[in-house]
């Protein structure tokens, strides 16, 4: 039996701030505790990639979002991690 596809999470952050750093730590901790490595986490700085914010319809940061595989990513805008 094959393992399930990993979930793809995007964590939208607003710059390099203490709140953003805490969001990264908490999101990774949650994913490890509940998903046992079956996830991909992409960190997106909204100040560097505003097109990603519009595409995902994000209205606040930090915001985690989960997308089906193959959605939620803009190929021209690499993740900022």
Could you tell me the residue ranges of all domains in the chain?
Answer: 7-67
Asked if the model's pLDDT at residue 3 lies above 90, the reply is no
pLDDT of residue 69: 61
14-23, 44-53, 70-79: lowest mean pLDDT where? 70-79
Give the helix/strand (H/E) hosting 51. Answer: helix 50-56
**7-67: which CATH architecture?**
3-Layer(aba) Sandwich (3.40)
The pTM for the full model equals 0.74
Reported as a single tens digit per residue, the pLDDT across 10-24 is 999 999 999 999 999
């Amino acid at each position: 039996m094959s393992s399930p596809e990993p979930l793809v999470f995007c964590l939208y952050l607003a710059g390099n701030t203490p709140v953003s750093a805490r969001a990264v730590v908490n999101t990774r901790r949650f994913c490890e505790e509940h998903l046992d490595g079956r996830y991909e986490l992409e960190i997106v700085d909204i100040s560097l990639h505003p097109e990603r914010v519009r595409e995902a319809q994000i209205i606040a940061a930090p915001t985690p979002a989960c997308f089906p595989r193959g959605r939620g990513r803009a190929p021209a805008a690499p993740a900022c991690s």
